[in-house]
Amino acid sequence: MNTIIKKYLKNNLKSILLERENIYKGNLLLVNRQNPLQDVQLGRNALMVPSDDRFPDILLRKPVSNMLKQLLKACSAGDSIVPVSGYRSLMEQQQIFMDSIKEKGEEFTLKYVALPNHSEHQTGLAIDMAQNLKVIDFICPDFPYEGICQTFRDKASKYGFIERYQKGKEQITGISHEPWHFRYVGYPHSEIMKNNDFTLEEYTEYLKYFTYDDKHLKFENQEQSIEIFYVEASETATEILVDEYEPYQISGNNMDGFVVTIWRDIL
């Protein structure tokens, strides 16, 4: 993992040094008006592949694309729903923002289009989906709460996706309700967020109650017991110890620290 700088073994424990610069990398980045992308090359440096083989120009990070394909297959979506917008470069986001200002005005644009370097689309972790109609609005595509679109929405959290901009949460996210915009955060974070009706903003703050040296957030399914905790980044590097034989993942939050997720098999 890119957050690992140094490792050593001690009684099955592995030491990991987390450097502050890596709070700007990972699946759980909070990108909004208050927290712009700090690593502006983040998307360009990641391996991007088509989110749907029918649309080779709509790209996502490779692991995210793989999960989206599995989700679409689980929904038996066929041609009923299609991706509209995935990864965008800074230049593309700037152009979309300016075009929207010209065509639909500032008020509309600020509701539905993120400022350049404040857009999740620049991370390669976000996808806009649409019901497959003859005419699809690029900015506000139809993705209703019924039929195959709702099936996609219902199953999304099992594959690591959340509906990012929920109705009634506009004051928290800073973006108007967008039923079409889905963000990959990874499992089990997606399930926890769905079960608690959390936005990513709310979840990011909630995780700070579960620290490395204190109680951890626990989530269980039929096969695994999963522990999650937050580590505040220091000015230089932060050391944590994990069991060498337990799978783990580390993500920065794009603000002030790291989220560590550890998987344990249920015997």
Residues designated catalytic? 178
Q: Is 250 helix (H, G, I), strand (E, B) or coil?
A: strand
CA–CA distance, 7 with 168 (Å, rounded to integer): 45
CA–CA distance, 100 with 102 (Å, rounded to integer): 5
Q: Are the beta carbons of 147 and 133 closer than 8 angstroms? A: no
Tell me which H or E stretch contains 68. helix 62-75
Q: Is 149 helix (H, G, I), strand (E, B) or coil?
A: helix
Q: Which amino acid is residue 43, in one-letter code? A: G
Q: Are the beta carbons of 14 and 3 closer than 8 angstroms? A: no
Q: Are the beta carbons of 52 and 68 closer than 8 angstroms? A: yes
Q: Are the beta carbons of 13 and 244 closer than 8 angstroms? A: yes
The two structure tokens encoding residue 188: 């089990």
CA–CA distance, 237 with 15 (Å, rounded to integer): 12
Angle between helical axes of 62-75 and 147-156 (0-180°, round to 10)? 130
Give Cα separations from 177 to 168, 174, 182, 223 (angstroms): 8, 10, 12, 35
| DSSP state, residue 209 | G
